[in-house]
Amino acid sequence: MRPLITILLVSFLIGGMYGYLKFADSVKRPDANYKATPEQKTVTVDIHRSATLYADAGFDVDALKVDFKNKTILQNQSNVPADEPISIELPEVEKGRNTISVFANFEDPEKFLSDAPSPSLFAIDVVIGVDGDEIHRQTFSNQTSITPIGGQVTFDTGQAR
């Protein structure tokens, strides 16, 4: 009797899964009709830093790298002094939410493992502006310069002040 009940339960389980999958495949899904609306205003990114950024060609490390929509917008392969202004215009910005990735390298390859004093805080300040008005500011910081500092910055162009 037990083998018969087991066979029936397995049959119901497989039949139920088959019926569900057949039904799910027959349901018509709505068409994806999303159209991106381009932002007509000029969107800029200003990056301020607490110290000089260093590139290291030996380890293929960029001093500063900015990515937007899976494209590299800025890639500094040479050292960037702390007082040098960095301002870039973002191409193909859509109205609504957008995300950029910013990474900066503060590790000086010449002073690696030396006893020279270093700044107590390494930080980058990313400022997003629309037509000259600041709409978003995000700061990334770390007490050591061993790893690149940065991350994702999400901003909304629809909420300009």
> 160: pLDDT confidence band, cut at 50, 70 and 90?
very low
Model confidence over 134-143: pLDDT tens digits? 999 999 988 8
| Residue 157 scores a pLDDT above 90 | no
**Considering only 72-76, 113-117, 146-150, which range has the smallest mean pLDDT?**
113-117
Going by their DSSP bridges, the two strands 97-104 and 64-68 should be labelled as antiparallel
Alpha-carbon distance of 63 to 80, in angstroms, equals 7
> 117: pLDDT confidence band, cut at 50, 70 and 90?
low
Task: Identify whether the C-beta of residue 122 lies closer than 8 Å to the C-beta of residue 145.
Answer: yes
Considering the entire predicted model, what is its pTM? 0.70
Average pLDDT over the chain reads 85
Instruction: Give the percent of the chain with pLDDT over 90.
Output: 42
